[in-house]
């Protein structure tokens, strides 16, 4: 890729970022979009509706940046939780690491790389970006000692910052743990694989087992039962609760009465708040009745929540093996009540093991299948190869702007569009592996997306772009390091464009929230009951954390090889820090 192609890509993405920021600063001021841009404030009843029109609503303003910067870490912790604080600390750590790397890389390594054989500023826009990489330095040059020394210093700084950040987050977690009240799930473990016994219920088997082996610490237990109807009632109750919170946050100018008949068109006029409070009370009573019926006649599954008198007793029961058969009496920490994922409680150990194996095979097949767009994308970055396979494009590719867009912007855009479907698929795969909490599914999906990104975006692009056509290097393993030493720096231009497209533009679109905005508009005008039915969305950690870590991998890899990538990474981490502080505060 030449310098002008990179500048074209940066210009297109920078224009999109400015457009998204401008639209967001205008649309967030419109009262009709409050459910999209401030759902947490609405859910907590803190948003005050203002229907009066004023010209400021139609003018973009950067006030949201100041408001996103203002909340302290303690305020962020109280409003969004510890996960949001840790996400912000990841950005802070990355900014510290790559600020130091940027100073060394841009002011020391980049000039050394650029000088290379000779200093030449003529026709710079049409030069290859390889002149800024280590491949421009002569073999055996004494200037390489600058790179070696920089590597040692950078490693020491990163190790120190890792130690400091780990210590800080550990202390923050301990402080959060000690400041919060003891929770029931901290005294409870989940036991699965309870062996069946003729004539005895699972409840009786669990009680006799723990009374025999943990008599001093065992407190009580609750056998899991099939509760499809109860879960449906609880879901309806949550929707009604959200409606009530939303209605109580409205001012008196909103609609005061409604009809209690079909679709709100028939029946007598009632106060909507009183009407929904009565329906919520009826639902709560139905839930209690169903729970009482389940405790008497509900179908038991071989799983139970076992509570102990102390957290120490629960920890002992969790860490020791309860049976000589490792597939029986399997213990694990109990998730929080609102974090439970109920679908796999009745699944046996063997079925869960088989499902994990199936998911691993599916992930491998998806990784192999994804090589098709990767190879296609790399073909776009090499116009000579593209002309060979598609000779009819030769005339178009001679146009300077077209070739710059194709080589600089289009490859990373196509790859980003294909990647959009990966994180949802990985979350579906993780939900099939037998996990019993949403947080476990999120963590598993995060790991899958990270490994998929590393293999398919980093290694596959490096190999398909520079070394795959030389199949013979794999027949001589001693030549692989040398070939990769040439291949990795040569792909720096692609990864710079990828950071700009997948980082800058994706973050700004995350702020703009175009899909939720369109969906909200459609539902608002097609469903009369929608206005009171919404949930506060959570940050898709399984999609964002792998991207942050992958960009960190690119920065560490290309710190020595092509330090030109570092300023673009710094811009990404600065944008991410501000945008996600804003999203955490408003619950987007």
Residue 330: strand pairing partners: 192
**Domain regions of the chain by residue span:** 3-178+353-586, 184-347
Three-class SS of residue 535?
coil
- Chain mean position to CA 482: 36
Side-chain-facing half-sphere of 6: CA atoms under 13 Å: 23
Q: With beta carbons less than 8 A apart as the criterion, state whether 8 and 401 touch.
A: yes
What pLDDT is recorded for position 252?
A: 43
Q: How far apart are CA 365 and CA 360, in angstroms?
A: 9
Q: How far apart are CA 73 and CA 95, in angstroms?
A: 17
Q: Going residue by residue through the chain (588 aa), what tens digit of pLDDT does each one get?
A: 677 777 888 888 888 889 989 988 888 888 777 778 877 777 666 666 566 667 777 888 888 888 888 888 888 888 888 888 999 999 999 999 999 999 999 999 888 887 765 555 566 666 777 777 887 777 778 888 898 999 999 999 999 999 999 999 999 999 888 888 888 889 999 998 888 887 788 889 999 999 999 999 999 998 887 766 666 677 777 777 766 766 665 544 445 555 555 545 555 566 666 767 777 777 777 777 766 665 555 577 888 999 999 999 999 999 998 888 888 898 999 998 888 888 777 777 888 889 899 999 999 999 888 877 777 666 655 555 555 555 555 556 556 555 666 665 667 777 777 888 888 999 999 988 888 888 999 999 999 999 998 888 888 777 765 544 455 555 566 766 777 777 777 788 888 888 888 888 888 888 888 888 888 777 766 654 444 455 677 788 888 899 999 999 999 999 988 898 999 999 999 999 999 988 887 766
- pTM comes to 0.80
Longest dimension (CA), the chain: 90
**Token couple for 411:** 């490859």
What pLDDT is recorded for position 107?
A: 92
505, 509, 492, 512: which is closest to 564 by C-alpha?
492
Q: How many CB atoms lie within 10 A of CB 33?
A: 19
305, 307, 563, 330: which is closest to 434 by C-alpha?
330
What pLDDT is recorded for position 269?
A: 63
315, 337, 322: which is closest to 191 by C-alpha?
322
What pLDDT is recorded for position 253?
A: 44
Q: How far apart are CA 217 and CA 467, in angstroms?
A: 62
What pLDDT is recorded for position 249?
A: 59
Q: How far apart are CA 321 and CA 330, in angstroms?
A: 8
What pLDDT is recorded for position 531?
A: 46
CA distances to 168, 350, 358 from 355, rounded to whole Å, are 38, 9, 5
- The burial of 401, by beta-carbon neighbours within 10 Å (0-12 exposed, 13-18 middle, 19 or more buried), is given as exposed
CA distances to 186, 239, 265, 319, 336 from 313, rounded to whole Å, are 10, 38, 58, 10, 18
Residue 303: strand pairing partners: 192
Q: How far apart are CA 93 and CA 164, in angstroms?
A: 9
Question: Apex CA 102: angle with CA 97 and CA 108, to 5°?
Answer: 130
Question: Apex CA 208: angle with CA 206 and CA 214, to 5°?
Answer: 90
570, 504, 562: which is closest to 3 by C-alpha?
562
Q: How far apart are CA 247 and CA 233, in angstroms?
A: 21
- DSSP code for 558: H
What pLDDT is recorded for position 12?
A: 85
């Amino acid at each position: 890729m030449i310098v002008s192609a990179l500048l074209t890509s940066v210009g297109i993405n920078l224009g999109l970022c400015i457009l998204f920021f401008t639209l967001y600063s205008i649309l967030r001021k419109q009262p009709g979009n409050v459910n999209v841009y401030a759902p947490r404030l609405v859910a907590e009843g803190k948003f005050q509706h203002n229907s009066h029109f004023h010209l400021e609503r139609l003018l973009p303003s950067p006030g949201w940046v100041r408001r996103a910067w203002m909340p302290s870490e303690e305020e962020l912790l109280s409003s969004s939780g510890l996960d949001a604080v840790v996400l912000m600390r990841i950005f802070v750590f990355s900014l510290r690491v790559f600020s130091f790397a940027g100073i060394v890389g841009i002011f020391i390594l980049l000039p050394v790389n650029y000088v290379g054989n000779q200093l030449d500023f003529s026709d710079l826009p049409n030069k290859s970006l390889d002149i800024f990489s280590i491949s421009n330095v002569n073999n055996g040059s004494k200037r390489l000692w600058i790179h070696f020394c920089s590597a040692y210093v950078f490693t020491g700084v990163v190790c120190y910052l890792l130690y400091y950040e780990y210590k800080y987050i550990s202390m923050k977690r301990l402080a959060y743990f000690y400041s919060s009240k003891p929770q029931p799930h901290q005294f409870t473990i989940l036991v699965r694989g309870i062996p069946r016994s003729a004539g005895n219920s699972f409840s009786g088997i669990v009680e006799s087992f723990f009374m025999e082996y943990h008599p001093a610490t065992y407190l009580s237990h609750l056998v899991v039962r099939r509760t499809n109807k109860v879960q449906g009632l609880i879901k309806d109750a949550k929707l009604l609760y959200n409606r009530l919170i939303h209605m109580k946050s409205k001012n008196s100018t909103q609609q005061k009465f409604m009809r209690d008949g079909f679709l709100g068109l028939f029946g007598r006029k009632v106060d909507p708040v009183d009407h929904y409070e009565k329906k919520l009370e009826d639902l709560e009573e139905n839930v209690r009745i169903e729970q009482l019926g389940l405790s008497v006649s509900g179908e038991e599954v071989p799983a139970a929540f076992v509570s102990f008198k102390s957290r120490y007793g629960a920890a002992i029961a969790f860490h020791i093996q309860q049976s000589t058969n490792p597939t029986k009496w399997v213990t694990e920490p109990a998730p929080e009540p609102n974090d439970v994922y109920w679908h796999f409680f009745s699944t046996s150990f063997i079925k869960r093991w088989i499902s994990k194996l199936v998911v691993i095979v599916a992930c491998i097949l998806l990784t192999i299948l994804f090589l098709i767009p990767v190879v296609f994308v790399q073909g776009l970055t090499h116009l000579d190869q593209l002309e060979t396979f598609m000779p009819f494009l030769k005339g178009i590719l001679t146009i300077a702007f077209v070739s710059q867009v194709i080589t600089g912007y289009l490859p990373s855009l196509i790859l980003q569009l294909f990647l959009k479907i990966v994180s949802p698929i990985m979350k579906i795969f993780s939900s099939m592996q037998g996990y019993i909490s949403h947080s476990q599914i999120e963590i598993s999906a995060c790991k899958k997306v990270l490994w998929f990104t590393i293999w398919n975006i980093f290694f596959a692009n490096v190999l398909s772009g520079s070394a795959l056509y030389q199949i013979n290097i794999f027949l001589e393993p001693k030549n692989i390091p040398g070939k990769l030493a040439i291949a990795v720096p040569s792909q720096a231009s692609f990864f710079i464009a990828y950071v700009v497209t997948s980082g800058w533009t994706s973050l700004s679109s995350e702020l703009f929230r175009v899909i939720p905005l369109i969906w909200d508009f459609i539902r608002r005008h097609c469903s009369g009951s929608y206005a009171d039915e919404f949930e506060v969305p959570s940050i898709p950690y399984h999609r964002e954390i792998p991207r942050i870590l992958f960009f960190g991998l690119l920065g560490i890899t290309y710190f020595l090889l092509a330090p030109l990538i570092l300023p673009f990474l710094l811009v990404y981490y600065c944008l991410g820090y501000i945008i996600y502080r804003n999203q955490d505060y408003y619950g987007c």
